[in-house]
Amino acid sequence: MSVEAYLNFNGNCREVVEHYADVFGTDKPRFMTFGDVPADPAYPVPEEAKSMIMHSRLKIGGSTVMFSDVFPGMPFVQGTNISLAYVEEDREKLERAFNRLQDGGQVIMPLQETFWSKLYGSVTDRFDIQWQFNLGIGEW
């Protein structure tokens, strides 16, 4: 069983996914756009939506994270309803990802030892997504 986060963006999903793929060193991402959907005359896809991302996903630290742009006209609230926890056994990988995500973002808690982890920190990245970083799973 797994828990997978699904993140929605307001037209910049491709940029987000490509950035995260680079930060975490994943396989090259694949994208399905709204324009890739089989045409249905009853529900035409507006021209401005055809290049927007309908679905993409990345394997980050053994977990799947899914992404999409919101369809034009649908409600969108950026970054207020989710944080992602990145648990890594390799200190160097954890520090590298933390340092890269803080570029253009804001550190909430610098990487430091806590009672539950040898190294923990949190950062809100340049896309307004909050990330938590944990070295190993600890005792909790």
Counting DSSP H helices and E strands in the chain, the numbers are 2, 8
Instruction: Assign 3-class secondary structure to 13-29.
Output: HHHHHHHHHHHHCCCCC
**Residue 22 pLDDT class (50, 70, 90 cuts):** very high
CA distance to 78, 79, 107, 127, 131, per residue, from 124 (Å): 12, 9, 6, 8, 6
In this predicted structure, what is the pLDDT of residue 81? 61
Residue-wise pLDDT tens digits, 83-126: 788 888 999 999 999 999 999 999 999 999 988 889 999 999 99
In this predicted structure, what is the pLDDT of residue 85? 84
Contact 119, 91 (CB under 8 A): yes
Instruction: Retrieve residue 110's tokens.
Output: 């610098």
Residues 6 or more apart whose Cβ sits within 8 Å of residue 25: none
Contact 20, 58 (CB under 8 A): yes
Cα distance between residue 43 and residue 66, in whole Å:
24
Q: Which of 27, 28, 23 is nearest to 102 (CA)?
A: 23
Could you tell me the pTM of the whole model? 0.77
Contact 133, 122 (CB under 8 A): yes
